[in-house]
Amino acid sequence: MKILVPVKRVVDYNVKVRVKSDGSGVELANVKMSMNPFDEIAVEEALRLKEAGKATEVIAVSIGPAQASETLRTALAMGADRGILVKTDGVVEPLAVAKILKGVVGEEAPGLVILGKQAIDDDCNQTGQMLAALLGWPQATFASKVVVEDGGALVTREIDGGLQTLKLNGPAIVTTDLRLNEPRYASLPNIMKAKKKPIAEKTPADYGVDVAPRLEVLKTAEPAGRKAGVKVGSVAELVAKLKDEAGVI
C-alpha cells in the first residue's frame, strides 16, 4: 500500500505575522517558512506505518510556488520516498487543493492519504474532508491514533467531550491532530540523502483543475487589541478588583 501525504508550506508557527498597512494582506516577505506542523505529524505517521510493514511507499505532495520544493525536501529528509510538486504561484483554496489531490490519487492509487487537520496560516480545516468527498472515500478527521488492518483502518479521533473510534473501509482519508505522534527530526545523513530523492513537477492543468479562487478577500485588518491591564500586588487585591471593578465574581 502507498501512502500519500500532502504537505503545505506555511509561515513558521513562531512568527507573529503583521497585517500590511494597506489592508491587502499580511506581510510575508522575508518571514521564515516551514512545513505546516500538522503535516509533519502526517509524514511521521506515514513513516511509522511503512516501518511497521503496513505501507510500501510514502509519497509527499505539495501544491504551491517553486519554494514548496523545500517543504518536500523536508518530508524526504524525514524519510518519505519521493515528492510531487504541483507548481502554482497564486492563491489555491482548499477546494482546488482537494481537486488537485484527487488527480494525484488517481495516478498514484494510495491506500491512505494522511493530511493535517488544519493549516496554521488560513486555519481552514477543510482540505481532507473535501478530498474524501470528491473521492467518495471514508474520512477520519482529528486523529489521535491510527491502526491499519485488513483492508481498512481503525482510527481514534479527538471530538468535543472525549474520543471516538471509527472503522474505515477500504482506501481512506485521515487528518492528524496534535497528539497522534511526535515527529522526528531529520538527521544530517538523511538530509543529504534527500537531495537525491526524486521530485516530479506538475501543474494544476495536468489534472485539469481550475484554481481560480471562489472567495474574494476584500480586506485584511489587524484584530482589535486589548488595552494594557494592571499588575496587582496580592490575592486580596485581585479578588477585590474582580468583584468591585470588573464585576465578574
Ligand X SMILES: Cc1cc2nc3c(=O)[nH]c(=O)nc-3n(C[C@H](O)[C@H](O)[C@H](O)COP(=O)(O)OP(=O)(O)OC[C@H]3O[C@@H](n4cnc5c(N)ncnc54)[C@H](O)[C@@H]3O)c2cc1C
Which of 2, 3, 8, 99: binder of ligand X (CB under 6 A)? 8
| 13 touches ligand X (CB under 6 A) | yes
HSE (side-chain half, CA atoms, 13 Å) at 172? 22
Regarding 177 and contact with ligand X (CB under 6 A), the answer is no
Nearest to 71 by CA among 136, 139, 130, 12: 12
Provide the pairing of β-strand 162-169 with 152-159: antiparallel
Residue with Cβ nearer another protein (69 or 139): 139
Residue whose CB is less far from ligand X, 23 or 213: 213
Q: How far is the CB of 61 from another protein (least distance, A)?
A: 18
CA distance from start to end of the chain: 58
Binding to ligand X, residues 184-213 (CB under 6 A): 213
For the bound state, the minimum distance from the C-beta of residue 109 to ligand X, rounded and expressed in Å, comes to 18
| Least distance from ligand X to the Cβ atom of residue 119, Å | 3
Name the helix (H) or strand (E) containing 239.
helix 235-240
CA distances from 33 to 196, 203, 219, 222, 238 (A): 22, 22, 23, 21, 41
Residue 64's binding partner out of ligand X, another protein, none, with CB under 5 to 8 Å set by partner kind:
ligand X
For the bound state, the minimum distance from the C-beta of residue 7 to ligand X, rounded and expressed in Å, comes to 6
**Phi, psi of 145, rounded to the nearest 5 degrees:** -160, 135
Neighbour count for residue 135 (Cβ, 10 Å):
18
Q: Per CB under 6 A, which of residues 46..65 are in contact with ligand X?
A: 61-64
One symbol per residue from 75 to 114: x for binding ligand X (CB under 6 A), - otherwise; what is it? ----------------xxxx--x-----------------
Return d(Cα 14, Cα 82) in angstroms, integer.
28
Choose between 81 and 177: whose C-beta lies nearer to another protein: 177
Which does residue 28 bind out of another protein, ligand X, none, counting CB within 5 to 8 angstroms by kind?
A: ligand X
Quickly tell me which residue has 485581585 as its cell: 238
For the bound state, the minimum distance from the C-beta of residue 11 to another protein, rounded and expressed in Å, comes to 7
Q: At what angle do helices 127-135 and 94-108 cross, to 10 degrees?
A: 50
**CA gap 56, 116 in Å, rounded:** 21
* Residue 109 interacts with which of ligand X, another protein, none, CB < 5 to 8 Å by class: none
Q: Which of positions 110-139 make contact with ligand X (CB under 6 A)?
A: 115-116, 118-128
Residues that bind ligand X (CB under 6 A): 6-8, 13, 25, 28, 36-39, 61-64, 91-94, 97, 115-116, 118-128, 213, 215, 217
